[in-house]
Amino acid sequence: MREAQWEPLPILTMKYLYKTILMMLAILLPASSTILAQQRELPFQAGEKAQIIIHYKYGPKMDIGKMDIAVTEQSGLMNVRADISTYSFWDKFYKVRDVYETTFTKDGIVPVKAYRDVHEGDFWARSDYDWRNGGRTLHAVVDKKNRPHRDTVYNEPKPVRDVMNLFFAIRALDIDKLIDGKVAHQIVAMDKDLLNVKLKSFGREEKKISGLGTFRTIKLGVTVNARNVEEVPESDKSNFSIAAEKGDGGDENVFYGNSKIFIWVSDDENHMPLFFSAPVKVGSINGRLASFSGLKYPLTSKIE
């Protein structure tokens, strides 16, 4: 196949891959949300590893990259590192090598430090986060190619979370409260910006994960929008804006707003992320759990 036929696809895909992965991670709401209760025991442990395969779906359907995640413990703090990379075929068009690292407390999963080093094509970016005051004071230092240096301090009434911190924080939640119809809100730091995140459960369902089998899962949905100066109106806190249900001329899997993400987590003590789906301007990007080791609890949600 001629290169001209392939080139637009990876460029379009990888342009939104970084944003999509961050928003996928951002739905993993922290245990500090007032409508959720943290479990006494963390559902993960040092030594846990996982690999998530990133898949692009439009015309040709191909796995384009992977995210490798490793959990360690250092001086009583939990540390998580994620390495995101494209496969060698896609490297010829748009090479991605991203590193995310976060450190947080075992009690309350309070963020302490976070680091991001991004290399995507000829673009680069680096973010360094430091927290004080129980996660409510964030010192963010951000540098990007062809952008001015940013050094900002945020003081918020509740913790501001980095996306890798959020990735693990959902696993300590009492998800039954979300299943009961609650909507969770949280402030999320992304580069130099703060975002509003809303999370809602769409209930339990069985989900087949290619290469792993069929699982009992909990389906979650999220909207992510630029944060306004004003607080979220009280009238909005009981709503979750989605399109009309199927049969009413709409698609039940379409959100109103800037972001459209669904994720399925294992319905067991691990709350392991198994699959996510997010549309981009052309087609969609999916991520699926491909391998794992060192889980704290048996993966009892697996059916076959």
String of DSSP letters for 45-80: -TT-EEEEEEEEESSSEEEEEEEEEEEEEETTEEEE
Average pLDDT over residues 143-171: 88
Label residue 186 by pLDDT band (50, 70, 90). Answer: confident
Average pLDDT over residues 31-37: 38
In the chain, where the domains are located: 3-293
**Count of residues in the chain:** 304
> Among 23-32, 96-105, 195-204, which range has the highest average pLDDT?
96-105
Cα 87 to chain centroid, rounded: 21
CA distances from 215 to 211, 225, 272, 300 (A): 12, 31, 11, 9
What is the pLDDT, as a whole number, of residue 94? Answer: 85
Label residue 285 by pLDDT band (50, 70, 90). Answer: confident
Average pLDDT over residues 11-21: 48
Structure token pair of residue 70? 């490793």
Report phi then psi at 111, rounded to 5.
Answer: -65, 140
**Amino acid present at 124:** W
In the chain, alpha helices (H): 3-6, 8-26, 88-91, 163-169, 176-179
Rounded CA gap, 35 and 28, in Å? 14
Rounded CA gap, 272 and 97, in Å? 24
Structure token pair of residue 130? 């430091």
Cβ–Cβ < 8 Å for 183, 240: yes
Share of the chain above pLDDT 90, in %: 44
Asked whether the predicted pLDDT for residue 254 surpasses 70, the reply is: no
Average pLDDT over residues 258-266: 76
Cβ–Cβ < 8 Å for 191, 142: yes
Asked whether the predicted pLDDT for residue 224 surpasses 90, the reply is: no
Rounded CA gap, 131 and 138, in Å? 5
**Amino acid present at 5:** Q
Rounded CA gap, 212 and 290, in Å? 7
Label residue 294 by pLDDT band (50, 70, 90). Answer: very high
What is the pLDDT, as a whole number, of residue 21? Answer: 52
Q: Is the pTM of this model over 0.85?
A: no
Structure token pair of residue 144? 């990007």
CA distances from 287 to 62, 67, 168, 209, 222 (A): 12, 9, 16, 10, 16
Average pLDDT over residues 56-69: 84
Average pLDDT over residues 172-189: 74
Neighbouring CB atoms inside 10 A of 227's CB total: 17
Structure token pair of residue 29? 């709401």
Q: CA angle, 278 as apex, 211 and 207 as ends, to 5°?
A: 35
